[in-house]
Structure 1
């Protein structure tokens, strides 16, 4: 089993969720208003709680390797155009 972590602008969340659906991902978790430090520098801000502008979302998906392979083209296309990051790691159920 694999774990896919995606962090991208909340504006692109629907595009990513549609890609997950098309690839047959069994489910996902979404955390909105994610802030932190990345390539663009520090973006930790309480002002995003009110407006949501510039906020990121974190999507976590647990799925098999075949689903990851199906997701790669769509996710890479979205992230390369709009920005964001994606990481895949091995995962084991407890």
Structure 2
């Protein structure tokens, strides 16, 4: 049997993040400037209503790195995201 490309992709994608939602690609964070502690402290003081965000956008959960706050992670750190996968007959 020929491997299914989406199945193979899903296996690969499932390995991109660890249990703390950190990217597992070797050297991914290499040469990234250290974020100053005062910036992290200020970001943590910002109150974000995650329940409202989840309700407004229909999210069930918001994933984030457990070491960093949401603003630091989304605004100051590199990331990798998959925004879509097409496979098989799509009617096109």
- Using structure 2 for the length normalisation, give the TM-score: 0.25
Higher relative contact order (CA 8 A, sep 6+): 1
Between Structure 1 and Structure 2, whose CA radius of gyration is higher? 2
- Using structure 1 for the length normalisation, give the TM-score: 0.24
